[in-house]
Amino acid sequence: MQKSSQRESERREARGTERSLARRAELIAVGRKLFADTAYDVLSMDDIAQQAGVAKGLIYYYFKSKRGYYLAIIEDTFADLVTSAAGEAELPNAERVSRTIEGYLRYAELHQAAFRTITRGGIGFDTEVQALRDGVHHAIIGTIAQGAYGRTDIPEIARLSLYGWLCSVEGMTLDWIAEQKLSRATVRDLMVRLLGDTLRTIAEFEPSCPPLPRTDVLPSRGKPHDPPPRCV
């Protein structure tokens, strides 16, 4: 009887944990929408609770504070972006690089508000938010390095160069989703070409990091792209 009661208690605890995790996920989903469209300082906990349809105390129960809630939202959003940008390990290196950039852009296009939250933050310079953002940069640079070089332990000059390329990609992506004047395929191929230039520059400084062959990095010219803009 004692063992049976213990198992029943464990099952109840597991069900409670599942409900708790589901509730926490629901609150994070609501928060992602709220903070994506409204500045951090503008939203009060009362506003958040009203929009979520819950008592304010429930948010404090799960996240301790407004800042804790925001950090949980940022972390969840970062995880989504990294998953979307992760290349498929079984693909050839060059194709994996292209898929990584495609996944990154697709995420930004389909989750524009969340992407802006990731790249622009919302509570000024916060060390924990910055640490999460650095983790995303590290993960994406690692994916690119694995695709380009077959490894992630790359020299500092290669890491710094890829970081600079990624920062330019963030800026380009923010402008692209705001303007929507080019197709995703065109922006992807542009970024791939810029990456090819970066890899060749790295190789000039670091012979242990040879670039992918130009034909592997550059997209096929046979693919349809947006017509070139007319200059007047």
At residue 195, what is the residue type?
A: L
Long-range contacts of 220-229 (CB under 8 A, 24+ apart): 223/185, 223/189, 224/185, 225/183, 225/185, 225/186, 225/189, 226/182, 226/183, 226/186
- Alpha-carbon span 53 to 203, nearest angstrom: 55
Tokens 């920062």 correspond to what residue? Answer: 167
Range 73-217 has CATH code 1.10.357.10: yes
Give the whole-angstrom CA distance, residue 50 versus residue 55.
Answer: 8
Domain boundaries, the chain: 2-64, 73-217
Pairwise CA distance, residues 24 & 17, whole Å: 10
Distances (CA, A) of 98 to 6, 37, 88, 128, 175: 52, 30, 11, 30, 20
- Domain 2-64: give its CATH code: 1.10.10.60
Write 146-151 long-range contacts (CB < 8 A, 24+).
146/87, 146/89, 146/93, 146/96, 147/87, 147/93, 147/94, 147/96, 147/97, 147/100, 148/93, 148/97, 148/195, 148/199, 148/209, 148/211, 148/212, 149/93, 149/209, 150/93
How does pLDDT run along the chain (232 residues), one tens digit per residue? 555 555 554 444 545 578 889 999 999 988 888 876 677 778 889 988 998 889 999 999 999 998 899 889 888 888 877 777 775 656 666 777 888 888 889 888 887 877 887 777 655 556 877 888 888 899 889 988 988 888 999 999 999 999 999 999 999 999 999 999 999 999 999 999 999 999 999 999 999 999 876 555 555 444 445 554 444 3
Whole-number Å distance between alpha carbons of 64 and 223: 51
Q: Do the beta carbons of residue 194 and residue 164 sit within 8 Å? A: no
Torsion of CA 187, 193, 196, 202, to 10 degrees: -80
pTM reported for the whole predicted model: 0.71
Residue where the block lists tokens 């995790």: 21
- The pLDDT, as a whole number, for residue 232 is 39
